Protein backbone atom coordinates (compact mmCIF):
# COMPACT_ATOMS: atom_id res chain seq x y z
CA UNK A 1 0.00 0.00 0.00
CA UNK A 2 1.17 3.53 -0.80
CA UNK A 3 0.84 5.93 2.12
CA UNK A 4 1.79 9.61 2.09
CA UNK A 5 3.24 11.12 5.27
CA UNK A 6 2.54 14.86 5.52
CA UNK A 7 4.51 16.55 8.30
CA UNK A 8 3.65 19.93 9.77
CA UNK A 9 5.87 20.15 12.85
CA UNK A 10 4.76 19.94 16.45
CA UNK A 11 6.07 18.09 19.47
CA UNK A 12 6.24 14.73 17.70
CA UNK A 13 9.03 16.09 15.47
CA UNK A 14 11.03 17.97 18.11
CA UNK A 15 14.52 17.05 19.23
CA UNK A 16 17.22 18.87 21.16
CA UNK A 17 20.63 19.35 19.53
CA UNK A 18 23.44 21.37 21.10
CA UNK A 19 21.03 23.01 23.52
CA UNK A 20 18.47 24.09 20.94
CA UNK A 21 15.33 22.51 19.58
CA UNK A 22 15.26 21.38 15.98
CA UNK A 23 12.69 19.33 14.11
CA UNK A 24 12.91 15.90 12.57
CA UNK A 25 12.07 15.65 8.90
CA UNK A 26 9.49 13.11 7.80
CA UNK A 27 12.24 10.80 6.58
CA UNK A 28 13.97 11.01 9.97
CA UNK A 29 10.69 10.28 11.77
CA UNK A 30 10.15 7.19 9.64
CA UNK A 31 13.68 5.96 10.31
CA UNK A 32 13.56 6.59 14.06
CA UNK A 33 9.94 5.86 14.92
CA UNK A 34 8.62 3.33 12.38
CA UNK A 35 11.72 1.62 10.96
CA UNK A 36 9.92 -1.65 10.22
CA UNK A 37 7.07 -0.20 8.20
CA UNK A 38 6.10 -2.44 5.30
CA UNK A 39 4.27 0.18 3.21
CA UNK A 40 5.62 2.36 0.45
CA UNK A 41 5.77 5.81 2.05
CA UNK A 42 6.12 9.16 0.30
CA UNK A 43 7.11 12.03 2.59
CA UNK A 44 5.80 15.58 2.20
CA UNK A 45 7.45 17.99 4.65
CA UNK A 46 4.89 20.78 4.42
CA UNK A 47 5.60 23.00 7.43
CA UNK A 48 7.84 23.17 10.47
CA UNK A 49 5.42 25.02 12.72
CA UNK A 50 3.97 24.63 16.21
CA UNK A 51 0.23 24.21 15.94
CA UNK A 52 -0.57 27.50 17.68
CA UNK A 53 0.89 29.19 14.56
CA UNK A 54 -1.66 27.57 12.24
CA UNK A 55 -4.70 29.34 10.87
CA UNK A 56 -7.07 29.11 7.94
CA UNK A 57 -4.35 29.46 5.23
CA UNK A 58 -2.19 26.75 6.77
CA UNK A 59 -5.14 24.40 7.30
CA UNK A 60 -6.09 24.90 3.67
CA UNK A 61 -2.50 24.13 2.65
CA UNK A 62 -2.71 20.86 4.61
CA UNK A 63 -5.93 19.95 2.80
CA UNK A 64 -4.33 20.78 -0.53
CA UNK A 65 -1.30 18.63 0.31
CA UNK A 66 -3.61 15.73 1.18
CA UNK A 67 -5.51 16.21 -2.07
CA UNK A 68 -2.26 16.29 -4.06
CA UNK A 69 -0.98 13.12 -2.37
CA UNK A 70 -4.20 11.24 -3.10
CA UNK A 71 -4.22 12.58 -6.65
CA UNK A 72 -0.68 11.28 -7.12
CA UNK A 73 -1.77 7.75 -6.25
CA UNK A 74 -1.49 7.46 -2.47
CA UNK A 75 -3.94 4.97 -0.98
CA UNK A 76 -3.96 6.75 2.38
CA UNK A 77 -2.45 9.79 4.10
CA UNK A 78 -0.97 10.21 7.58
CA UNK A 79 -0.54 13.77 8.89
CA UNK A 80 1.69 14.59 11.88
CA UNK A 81 0.64 17.74 13.71
CA UNK A 82 1.03 19.62 16.98
CA UNK A 83 -1.60 18.75 19.57
CA UNK A 84 -2.96 22.20 20.45
CA UNK A 85 -5.00 22.78 17.28
CA UNK A 86 -4.99 19.26 15.84
CA UNK A 87 -8.73 18.83 16.36
CA UNK A 88 -9.39 21.96 14.29
CA UNK A 89 -7.14 21.11 11.34
CA UNK A 90 -8.43 17.53 11.27
CA UNK A 91 -12.04 18.74 11.19
CA UNK A 92 -11.22 21.37 8.54
CA UNK A 93 -9.80 18.62 6.32
CA UNK A 94 -12.67 16.29 7.17
CA UNK A 95 -15.16 18.83 5.82
CA UNK A 96 -13.37 19.06 2.47
CA UNK A 97 -13.18 15.37 1.50
CA UNK A 98 -15.91 12.94 0.55
CA UNK A 99 -15.58 9.66 2.47
CA UNK A 100 -12.99 7.54 0.68
CA UNK A 101 -9.25 6.98 1.16
CA UNK A 102 -8.12 6.99 4.78
CA UNK A 103 -6.77 10.26 6.19
CA UNK A 104 -5.26 9.99 9.69
CA UNK A 105 -3.92 12.72 11.98
CA UNK A 106 -1.58 11.96 14.86
CA UNK A 107 0.75 13.79 17.23
CA UNK A 108 2.68 13.50 20.48
CA UNK A 109 2.24 15.05 23.90
CA UNK A 110 5.93 14.62 24.77
CA UNK A 111 8.96 15.12 22.48
CA UNK A 112 11.48 12.45 21.43
CA UNK A 113 14.13 11.78 24.04
CA UNK A 114 11.84 12.54 26.98
CA UNK A 115 10.75 9.70 29.26
CA UNK A 116 7.26 8.64 28.26
CA UNK A 117 7.56 9.86 24.66
CA UNK A 118 4.31 8.79 23.02
CA UNK A 119 5.02 9.76 19.42
CA UNK A 120 6.47 6.41 18.42
CA UNK A 121 3.38 4.45 19.42
CA UNK A 122 1.04 7.09 18.00
CA UNK A 123 2.77 7.18 14.62
CA UNK A 124 2.91 3.38 14.41
CA UNK A 125 -0.80 3.20 15.30
CA UNK A 126 -1.58 5.83 12.67
CA UNK A 127 0.14 3.74 9.98
CA UNK A 128 -1.64 0.60 11.20
CA UNK A 129 -4.96 2.43 10.87
CA UNK A 130 -4.10 3.93 7.48
CA UNK A 131 -3.07 0.53 6.18
CA UNK A 132 -6.33 -1.19 7.12
CA UNK A 133 -9.05 -1.02 4.46
CA UNK A 134 -11.75 -0.91 7.16
CA UNK A 135 -10.62 2.64 7.96
CA UNK A 136 -11.76 3.83 4.52
CA UNK A 137 -14.94 5.82 3.94
CA UNK A 138 -15.42 6.84 7.59
CA UNK A 139 -14.03 10.36 7.39
CA UNK A 140 -10.85 11.88 8.75
CA UNK A 141 -9.50 10.07 11.81
CA UNK A 142 -7.39 11.11 14.79
CA UNK A 143 -5.24 8.35 16.32
CA UNK A 144 -3.81 9.02 19.77
CA UNK A 145 -2.95 6.81 22.75
CA UNK A 146 -4.31 3.68 21.10
CA UNK A 147 -7.71 5.21 20.32
CA UNK A 148 -9.21 6.08 16.94
CA UNK A 149 -11.52 9.10 16.91
CA UNK A 150 -13.55 10.96 14.32
CA UNK A 151 -12.33 14.45 13.52
CA UNK A 152 -15.83 15.74 14.25
CA UNK A 153 -16.05 14.38 17.79
CA UNK A 154 -12.50 14.48 19.14
CA UNK A 155 -11.24 17.20 21.48
CA UNK A 156 -8.05 17.80 23.39
CA UNK A 157 -9.66 17.55 26.82
CA UNK A 158 -6.47 17.65 28.91
CA UNK A 159 -3.53 20.02 28.54
CA UNK A 160 -0.79 17.57 29.57
CA UNK A 161 -2.00 13.97 29.87
CA UNK A 162 -0.75 11.40 27.37
CA UNK A 163 -4.41 10.46 26.97
CA UNK A 164 -5.32 14.04 26.17
CA UNK A 165 -7.65 13.33 23.24
CA UNK A 166 -11.17 12.07 23.83
CA UNK A 167 -14.56 12.02 22.13
CA UNK A 168 -16.51 13.08 25.23
CA UNK A 169 -20.08 12.16 24.37
CA UNK A 170 -19.87 9.22 21.98
CA UNK A 171 -16.42 7.74 22.55
CA UNK A 172 -13.85 6.57 19.99
CA UNK A 173 -14.69 4.75 16.77
CA UNK A 174 -12.17 2.06 17.57
CA UNK A 175 -8.76 1.20 18.93
CA UNK A 176 -5.33 -0.03 17.87
CA UNK A 177 -4.17 -2.94 20.00
CA UNK A 178 -0.99 -5.00 19.46
CA UNK A 179 -0.56 -3.62 15.96
CA UNK A 180 -4.15 -4.31 14.86
CA UNK A 181 -6.96 -1.87 14.04
CA UNK A 182 -10.35 -2.56 15.60
CA UNK A 183 -13.43 -0.68 14.37
CA UNK A 184 -16.25 -0.60 16.93
CA UNK A 185 -18.69 1.74 15.19
CA UNK A 186 -19.10 3.98 12.17
CA UNK A 187 -19.68 7.75 12.29
CA UNK A 188 -23.29 8.90 12.16
CA UNK A 189 -22.71 12.06 10.13
CA UNK A 190 -20.30 12.82 7.30
CA UNK A 191 -20.56 16.00 5.26
CA UNK A 192 -18.42 17.99 2.85
CA UNK A 193 -17.98 21.48 1.47
CA UNK A 194 -16.14 22.65 -1.62
CA UNK A 195 -12.53 23.79 -1.28
CA UNK A 196 -12.63 27.48 -0.28
CA UNK A 197 -11.17 30.28 -2.38
CA UNK A 198 -11.47 32.90 0.37
CA UNK A 199 -11.26 33.15 4.16
CA UNK A 200 -14.48 34.49 5.68
CA UNK A 201 -13.99 36.45 8.89
CA UNK A 202 -15.65 34.50 11.70
CA UNK A 203 -15.01 35.03 15.39
CA UNK A 204 -16.06 33.11 18.49
CA UNK A 205 -17.22 34.31 21.91
CA UNK A 206 -17.86 32.28 25.07
CA UNK A 207 -20.55 33.41 27.51
CA UNK A 208 -19.98 33.76 31.24
CA UNK A 209 -21.91 35.01 34.26
CA UNK A 210 -22.47 38.75 34.27
CA UNK A 211 -21.27 39.17 30.69
CA UNK A 212 -22.01 42.47 28.94
CA UNK A 213 -22.35 42.99 25.19
CA UNK A 214 -18.88 44.57 24.90
CA UNK A 215 -17.30 41.67 23.00
CA UNK A 216 -20.29 41.05 20.75
CA UNK A 217 -20.41 44.72 19.73
CA UNK A 218 -16.63 44.87 19.22
CA UNK A 219 -16.69 41.71 17.10
CA UNK A 220 -19.61 42.75 14.91
CA UNK A 221 -18.26 46.30 14.50
CA UNK A 222 -15.41 44.78 12.48
CA UNK A 223 -17.82 43.83 9.73
CA UNK A 224 -17.68 40.12 10.41
CA UNK A 225 -19.13 37.52 8.10
CA UNK A 226 -20.05 35.25 10.98
CA UNK A 227 -20.05 34.89 14.74
CA UNK A 228 -20.15 31.79 16.94
CA UNK A 229 -21.42 32.24 20.47
CA UNK A 230 -20.99 29.56 23.12
CA UNK A 231 -24.03 29.84 25.37
CA UNK A 232 -24.53 28.97 28.99
CA UNK A 233 -25.95 25.50 29.53
CA UNK A 234 -28.56 24.41 27.02
CA UNK A 235 -29.01 27.75 25.27
CA UNK A 236 -29.13 30.70 27.64
CA UNK A 237 -27.15 33.92 27.39
CA UNK A 238 -26.89 36.88 29.77
CA UNK A 239 -29.91 39.06 28.86
CA UNK A 240 -27.74 42.07 28.10
CA UNK A 241 -26.39 40.33 25.00
CA UNK A 242 -29.71 39.99 23.19
CA UNK A 243 -29.90 43.50 21.76
CA UNK A 244 -26.42 43.33 20.22
CA UNK A 245 -27.06 39.79 18.92
CA UNK A 246 -30.25 40.95 17.21
CA UNK A 247 -28.36 43.85 15.66
CA UNK A 248 -25.67 41.48 14.41
CA UNK A 249 -28.23 39.23 12.71
CA UNK A 250 -30.09 42.19 11.19
CA UNK A 251 -26.74 43.46 9.93
CA UNK A 252 -26.25 40.26 7.90
CA UNK A 253 -23.82 38.60 10.30
CA UNK A 254 -24.53 34.87 10.38
CA UNK A 255 -24.69 34.01 14.08
CA UNK A 256 -24.38 30.39 15.23
CA UNK A 257 -24.98 29.30 18.82
CA UNK A 258 -23.68 26.22 20.58
CA UNK A 259 -23.24 25.27 24.23
CA UNK A 260 -20.06 25.99 26.14
CA UNK A 261 -20.60 22.67 27.95
CA UNK A 262 -18.32 19.85 26.78
CA UNK A 263 -21.31 17.53 26.21
CA UNK A 264 -24.94 17.96 25.31
CA UNK A 265 -26.67 20.34 22.93
CA UNK A 266 -29.01 23.32 22.84
CA UNK A 267 -32.65 22.87 23.81
CA UNK A 268 -35.41 23.67 21.36
CA UNK A 269 -37.85 24.59 24.17
CA UNK A 270 -37.29 25.74 27.73
CA UNK A 271 -37.55 22.41 29.58
CA UNK A 272 -40.75 21.75 27.65
CA UNK A 273 -42.53 24.48 29.64
CA UNK A 274 -44.24 27.65 28.42
CA UNK A 275 -42.27 29.80 30.86
CA UNK A 276 -40.05 32.36 29.15
CA UNK A 277 -36.80 33.74 30.55
CA UNK A 278 -34.96 36.73 29.07
CA UNK A 279 -31.96 35.46 27.13
CA UNK A 280 -33.29 31.93 26.79
CA UNK A 281 -33.23 29.66 23.74
CA UNK A 282 -36.55 31.11 22.55
CA UNK A 283 -34.98 34.56 22.42
CA UNK A 284 -32.08 33.17 20.39
CA UNK A 285 -34.44 31.41 17.99
CA UNK A 286 -36.61 34.47 17.51
CA UNK A 287 -33.51 36.57 16.82
CA UNK A 288 -32.68 34.31 13.86
CA UNK A 289 -29.67 32.64 15.44
CA UNK A 290 -28.69 29.21 14.09
CA UNK A 291 -28.35 26.31 16.55
CA UNK A 292 -25.49 23.84 16.40
CA UNK A 293 -24.25 20.77 18.30
CA UNK A 294 -20.53 21.18 17.62
CA UNK A 295 -17.90 22.65 19.92
CA UNK A 296 -17.37 26.37 19.47
CA UNK A 297 -14.04 25.91 17.69
CA UNK A 298 -15.46 23.41 15.22
CA UNK A 299 -18.63 25.42 14.68
CA UNK A 300 -16.39 28.33 13.68
CA UNK A 301 -14.53 26.20 11.11
CA UNK A 302 -17.75 24.83 9.65
CA UNK A 303 -19.24 28.32 9.42
CA UNK A 304 -16.12 29.61 7.64
CA UNK A 305 -16.38 26.86 5.03
CA UNK A 306 -20.13 27.34 4.62
CA UNK A 307 -19.66 31.06 4.05
CA UNK A 308 -16.72 30.48 1.70
CA UNK A 309 -19.03 28.24 -0.34
CA UNK A 310 -21.43 31.21 -0.64
CA UNK A 311 -24.32 29.28 0.85
CA UNK A 312 -27.53 31.18 1.55
CA UNK A 313 -28.40 31.57 5.22
CA UNK A 314 -31.31 29.10 5.03
CA UNK A 315 -29.00 26.44 3.62
CA UNK A 316 -26.38 27.22 6.27
CA UNK A 317 -29.10 26.73 8.89
CA UNK A 318 -30.02 23.41 7.33
CA UNK A 319 -26.40 22.25 7.31
CA UNK A 320 -26.03 23.11 11.01
CA UNK A 321 -29.40 22.06 12.39
CA UNK A 322 -30.13 18.91 10.39
CA UNK A 323 -27.95 16.37 12.22
CA UNK A 324 -27.97 12.64 12.83
CA UNK A 325 -28.45 11.75 9.16
CA UNK A 326 -26.33 8.71 8.39
CA UNK A 327 -25.93 9.64 4.74
CA UNK A 328 -23.18 11.90 3.49
CA UNK A 329 -24.05 15.46 2.51
CA UNK A 330 -22.74 16.45 -0.91
CA UNK A 331 -20.12 19.12 -1.34
CA UNK A 332 -21.53 22.55 -2.10
- The verdict on residue 328 lying in a domain is no
119 plus 213 within the same structural domain: no
Among 153, 183, 213, residue at a domain's last position: 183
37 plus 85 within the same structural domain: yes
The predicted-structure confidence for 256-266, as pLDDT tens digits, reads as follows: 999 999 999 89
The predicted-structure confidence for 191-219, as pLDDT tens digits, reads as follows: 999 999 999 999 999 999 999 999 999 98
178 plus 206 within the same structural domain: no
The pTM of the full predicted model, rounded to 2 decimals, is: 0.93
- The verdict on residue 297 lying in a domain is yes
156 plus 24 within the same structural domain: yes
- The verdict on residue 196 lying in a domain is no
215 plus 178 within the same structural domain: no
39 plus 177 within the same structural domain: yes
- The verdict on residue 332 lying in a domain is no
Q: What pLDDT was estimated at residue 16?
A: 67
255: domain CATH number is 3.40.50.40
pLDDT bin (cut points 50, 70, 90) of residue 330 is low
For 104, phi and psi rounded to 5 degrees? Answer: -125, 130
Q: Is the dihedral of CA 120, 35, 126, 29 positive or negative?
A: positive
- The verdict on residue 188 lying in a domain is no
The predicted-structure confidence for 277-311, as pLDDT tens digits, reads as follows: 788 988 999 999 999 999 999 999 999 999 999 99
- The verdict on residue 190 lying in a domain is no
How many domains does the structure of the chain reveal?
2
Rounded Cα distance between 171 and 134, Å, is 18
- The verdict on residue 194 lying in a domain is no
The sheet that has 290-291: what strands, in order across it? 202-206, 226-231, 254-259, 290-291
Integer distance in angstroms from the first to the last C-alpha of the chain? 31
Domain span at 209 = 202-321
19: domain CATH number is 3.40.50.1170
238 plus 283 within the same structural domain: yes
227 plus 142 within the same structural domain: no
Q: What residues contact residue 121 under an 8 Å CB cut-off, 6+ apart?
A: 145, 146
Closest CA to 122 of 136, 111, 133, 132: 111
Instruction: Give the mean pLDDT of 99-124.
Output: 94
Rounded Cα distance between 54 and 32, Å, is 26
Instruction: Give the mean pLDDT of 122-129.
Output: 97
- The verdict on residue 326 lying in a domain is no
Strands (E), the chain: 2-7, 14-17, 20-23, 40-45, 76-80, 102-106, 141-144, 147-150, 155-156, 165-166, 174-177, 180-183, 202-206, 226-231, 254-259, 290-291
Beta bridge pairs of residue 21: 16
Q: Residues 241, 279: contact at Cβ < 8 Å?
A: yes
Q: What residues contact residue 143 under an 8 Å CB cut-off, 6+ apart?
A: 104, 105, 106, 122, 125, 126, 129, 149, 176
Among 113, 148, 183, residue at a domain's last position: 183
Among 152, 183, 214, residue at a domain's last position: 183
Amino acid sequence: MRIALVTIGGTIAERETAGRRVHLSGAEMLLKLVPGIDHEVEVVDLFDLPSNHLGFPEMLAVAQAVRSALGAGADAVVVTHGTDTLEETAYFVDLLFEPGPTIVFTAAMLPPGVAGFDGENNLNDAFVTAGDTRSREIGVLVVMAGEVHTARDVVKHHSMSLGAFKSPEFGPLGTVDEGRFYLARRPALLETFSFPDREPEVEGIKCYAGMTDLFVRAATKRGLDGLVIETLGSGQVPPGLMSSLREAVSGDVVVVATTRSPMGRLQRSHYGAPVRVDGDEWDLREAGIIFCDLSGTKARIKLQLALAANLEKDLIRLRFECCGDETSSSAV
